[in-house]
């Protein structure tokens, strides 16, 4: 390969650009003439059969990546041109997004009431969008997709939350999508959306670094060995585990597998895993059982099946009207109700305190752990970590309320209960 020869990526991009720019199927010879990577090889005297094999590999690569490359058989052509290739623009490009204003939204059937003739090709013509495409076939048009204002705002709000937190993935991509989606909204787009959500810190980088090694052990069916910290301080034990799967819940990673040390299935939180040994690249050491992993996916993160830790009883106070949500969704077990405020205290079985405390803290000021004292202290520590991790939202992290009425000190703001005149006033009763 010479210094000026295109790389494989450049050749694939050139092939895509060539096919998309053609309004009709093209032969292999036309592609080789039009794509510099193939043309250079032929001009350099490379065997055409070798070029053909490379072209076939490139086609397979595009198909594997999901590009809509089609072949068209034309038996009447010359033998070398009986198979043609194309990528239709309507299959390749995403549809144009068109934002409908409220006055443009028409309820179904309105066209018939006006006496519109469906046969004239209006939006209510038989066959809908597919019929429109059939009529447009050959015109090389790209379809459009309409979004109503509510859907646009909901999507933009989610993108705004994603682009506003440095700790979340795809921040740059979310920002680009946000700007494109809100281009036609007009007005103060940035002011439409509130502050980004509070980010509860998850696993640290050392814990996240364990994931690739464990994933490799799972694929290779290799036994892993490590020391594990129990929920009680100082309770560290040696473990030998047949890894089945990794689980990610509420910003934390877990390992599911058969613990040879305990001769039972177990769930291990990776933040408590230490001195993990590299399982190596040898032959498989176990056969994974036929286990339904959905039982872990469906369970709450603080009470996963197979957790090592002994259960503890936690009590959480839910403020009104969040207490109604907890009751209607069978969240925990009811312990007591405060008739004066509508607040309730509910009981939970907890095997892993970290995810539970994170979940309660995610209820903002609508829920607070009241027992046992150890969990109350852990919640206070995590609350301070949240404040420290979100300085732009909480200022210096020592005083004042965060977004949506969060008090970093965990105190209940005045005038916001059922008896007050704040946002939780009598109108919600």
pLDDT by residue (tens digit) across 197-208? 555 666 777 888
382 compared with 143, residue with greater pLDDT: 382
Cα angle at 267 between 231 and 314, to 5 degrees? 45
- Under 8 Å CB-to-CB from 427, ≥6 apart: which residues? none
Weakest mean pLDDT among 146-150, 345-349, 402-406: 402-406
Over residues 169-197, mean pLDDT: 72
* pLDDT for res 416: 33
* pLDDT for res 314: 94
Give the helix/strand (H/E) hosting 251: none
Quote the strand ranges of 230-356, DSSP E. 236-249, 252-259, 264-269, 273-274, 312-318, 333-337, 344-350
What is the band of 196 on the pLDDT scale with cuts at 50, 70, 90?
Answer: low
Over residues 286-294, mean pLDDT: 84
Mean pLDDT, the chain, whole residue set: 76
Residue 286 predicted with pLDDT over 70 = yes
Over residues 312-331, mean pLDDT: 91
Residue 383 predicted with pLDDT over 80 = yes
- Give SS3 for 161: helix
What is the band of 187 on the pLDDT scale with cuts at 50, 70, 90?
Answer: low
Over residues 204-230, mean pLDDT: 89
- Give SS3 for 231: coil
* pLDDT for res 398: 44
Over residues 251-259, mean pLDDT: 89
- Taking domain 207-289, whether its CATH number is 3.40.50.970 is answered by no
Pairing state of beta strands 144-147 and 96-99?
Answer: parallel
- Rounded Cα distance, 109 and 99, in Å: 21
- Rounded Cα distance, 388 and 393, in Å: 10
What is the band of 132 on the pLDDT scale with cuts at 50, 70, 90?
Answer: very low
Q: In this structure, what DSSP letter does residue 140 have? A: -
Burial zone of 257 (CB within 10 Å; 0-12 exposed, 13-18 middle, 19+ buried): buried
Q: How far is CA 150 from the centre of its chain?
A: 21
Weakest mean pLDDT among 68-82, 299-313, 318-332, 386-400: 386-400
110 compared with 292, residue with greater pLDDT: 292
* pLDDT for res 47: 92
Residue 126 predicted with pLDDT over 70 = no
* pLDDT for res 38: 92
Over residues 17-23, mean pLDDT: 88
108 compared with 360, residue with greater pLDDT: 360
Output the furthest CA–CA distance in the chain (Å, rounded): 91
Its CATH architecture, for the domain 8-91, is: Orthogonal Bundle (1.10)
80, HSE (Cβ side, Cα atoms, 13 Å) = 8
- Give SS3 for 319: coil
Q: Domain extents for the chain? A: 8-91, 95-105+124-197, 207-289, 312-426
Of all residues in the chain, the percent with pLDDT exceeding 70 is 70
395 compared with 36, residue with greater pLDDT: 36
Over residues 320-327, mean pLDDT: 91
* pLDDT for res 420: 32
Weakest mean pLDDT among 96-100, 101-105, 386-390: 101-105
């Amino acid at each position: 390969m010479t210094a000026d020869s295109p790389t494989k990526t450049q050749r694939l991009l050139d092939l895509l650009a060539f096919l998309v720019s053609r309004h009709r199927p093209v032969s292999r010879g036309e592609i080789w003439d039009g794509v510099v990577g193939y043309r250079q090889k032929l001009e350099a005297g490379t065997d055409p059969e070798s070029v053909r094999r490379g072209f076939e590999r490139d086609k397979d690569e595009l198909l594997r990546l999901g590009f809509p490359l089609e072949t068209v058989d034309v038996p009447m052509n010359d033998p070398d041109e009986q198979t043609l290739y194309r990528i239709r623009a309507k299959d390749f490009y995403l549809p144009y997004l068109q934002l409908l204003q409220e006055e443009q939204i028409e309820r179904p059937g309105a066209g018939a009431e006006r006496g519109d003739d469906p046969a004239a090709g209006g939006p209510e013509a038989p066959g809908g969008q597919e019929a429109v495409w059939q009529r447009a076939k050959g015109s090389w048009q790209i379809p459009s997709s309409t979004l109503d204002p509510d859907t646009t705002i909901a999507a933009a709000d989610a993108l705004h939350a994603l682009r506003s937190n440095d700790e979340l993935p795809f921040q740059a991509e979310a920002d680009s999508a946000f700007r494109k989606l809100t281009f036609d909204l007009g007005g103060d787009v940035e002011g439409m959306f509130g502050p980004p959500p509070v980010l509860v810190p998850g696993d640290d980088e050392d814990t996240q670094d364990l994931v690739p090694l464990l994933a490799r052990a799972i694929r290779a069916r290799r036994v892993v060995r490590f020391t594990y910290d129990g929920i009680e301080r100082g309770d560290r034990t040696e473990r030998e585990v047949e890894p089945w799967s990794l689980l990610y819940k509420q910003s934390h990673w877990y390992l599911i597998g058969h613990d040879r040390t305990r001769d039972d299935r177990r769930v291990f939180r990776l933040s408590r895993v230490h001195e993990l040994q590299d399982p190596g690249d040898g032959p498989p050491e176990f056969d994974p059982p036929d286990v339904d992993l959905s039982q872990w996916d469906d369970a709450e993160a603080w009470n996963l099946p197979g957790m090592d830790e002994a259960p503890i009883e936690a009590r959480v106070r839910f403020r009104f009207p969040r207490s109604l949500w907890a009751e209607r969704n069978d969240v925990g077990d009811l312990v007591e109700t405060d008739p004066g405020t509508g607040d309730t205290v509910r009981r939970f079985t907890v095997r892993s305190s970290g995810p539970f405390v994170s979940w309660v803290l995610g209820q903002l000021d609508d829920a607070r752990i009241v027992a046992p004292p150890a969990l109350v202290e852990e919640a206070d520590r995590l609350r301070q970590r949240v404040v420290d991790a979100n300085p732009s939202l909480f200022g210096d992290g020592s005083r004042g309320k965060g977004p949506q009425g969060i008090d970093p000190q965990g105190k209940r703001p005045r005038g916001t209960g059922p008896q007050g005149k704040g946002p939780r006033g009598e109108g919600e009763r």
